[in-house]
Amino acid sequence: MERRNSPIKDSNQQPSSSNIHSTPATVKEVTTSSSSDGESSDSDSSPQNYVIHNYYWYWLFKFGTTLGEEIFYASVFPFWFWNIDGAVGRRIINVWALSMFIGQSLKDIICWPRPQCPPVIRMENKWALEYGMPSTHAMVSVTVPFSVILLTANRYEYPVYIGVAIAFTWCILVSTSRLYLGMHSVADILGGLALASLLLPVLLPLVDTLDAFLLTHPAAPGLLITTTITLMLVYPGSKFSSAKEDTAVILGSSMGLQLGGWIGYQMGSIRGPPIKPPYSIIWPSYEMLGLSLLRTIIGLITVVATRAIAKSVSYAAMRGVVSTLRSKEKSAKEDAGDVELFVKLGTKLMTYAVIGIDVMCLAPAVFRLLNIERPTFHTEI
């Protein structure tokens, strides 16, 4: 990959013979945005053209960075609950949410900008408004795959070394993709990997006790909602940042999934497994694969519908709260920014909480109605 300048050409200019016979290359253009502190340089705000010479690496690293995105986990986590193991899923959610909250908070405390471009070629703009240290992509590339291995090693009978190899490959691919795309420095990546490596031994021993409390205790919903709102209130910085918005999505999703698990347990649909682990893994038949695909498609349809409804209702509810609580002494101009931030984050939090409840309660109820539910879905504590 190389950078290509884009000077304005004279329309009457004739191409040279060497250009006529050269192999054409695809020129991509990306316009970078200002950083989250509102500062930007001329170089950071100007369009960049670059030529991709090797599409194998380009698409490999594009795929690698997707493994750390919210859209990936928005698809994988429901799939895991509907088709694999809810008990492991709830524990992974706890590790994921806590580690991501810490990582996103540190970004807005350290305020370490992303690599300057140029000289770096920033190939994506999605995270350009966030700070860079630590890389939460690198963090989640450690916490999620290695949590899966450590939480399933004694629960299922399978070659653990294969899982470890996949986890390391996952981690390396996600981390290097952030360097390739120009979104992080080496220090950002190493900081994220180091922080995740420190958090994992602390969080994993707590997840069994935490899951048991959140699943069975009568006070769990109130404490869960209070803790989630408190974490959003103590999140560093009073201004809007994309990291804060992502944190609202993460905490809302986690809260909804845990509330959904609590509702299922209280209603008697989630109970202890009939036999103790370890369990043997059965290679899925074509029928099992078809049912998994059907559950995933139907479940995601319910999620999309729930999101559309919950987003509208949540926004209206947050506006209602604002109109009730807003101080009459303050002018509309004075608190307009704070109000918009409150409404936006509150809407995200409530919307994704409802989606989490959908994943744990509504979608499984639809599966049961259609007689396509996973047989062990309700026997995983």
Any idea which residues carry the catalytic annotation?
A: 137, 184
- Burial tier of 371 (Cβ tally within 10 Å: 0-12, 13-18, 19+): exposed
Enter the DSSP assignment of 359: I
Q: In what order do the strands lie in the sheet with 2-4?
A: 2-4, 47-51, 27-31
Q: Is 75 exposed, middle or buried (0-12, 13-18, 19+ CB in 10 A)?
A: middle
Strand partners, 71: none
Q: How far apart are CA 377 and CA 83, in angstroms?
A: 8
Where b means 16+ CB within 10 Å and e means fewer, 255-276 reads: bbbbbbbbebbeeebbeeeeee
Give helix 332-357 / helix 220-233 axis angle, nearest 10°: 140
Maximum alpha-carbon separation in the chain: 80
Tell me the C-alpha distance between 193 and 171, whole Å.
Answer: 9
What is d(CA 365, CA 269) in angstroms, rounded to the nearest whole number? 10
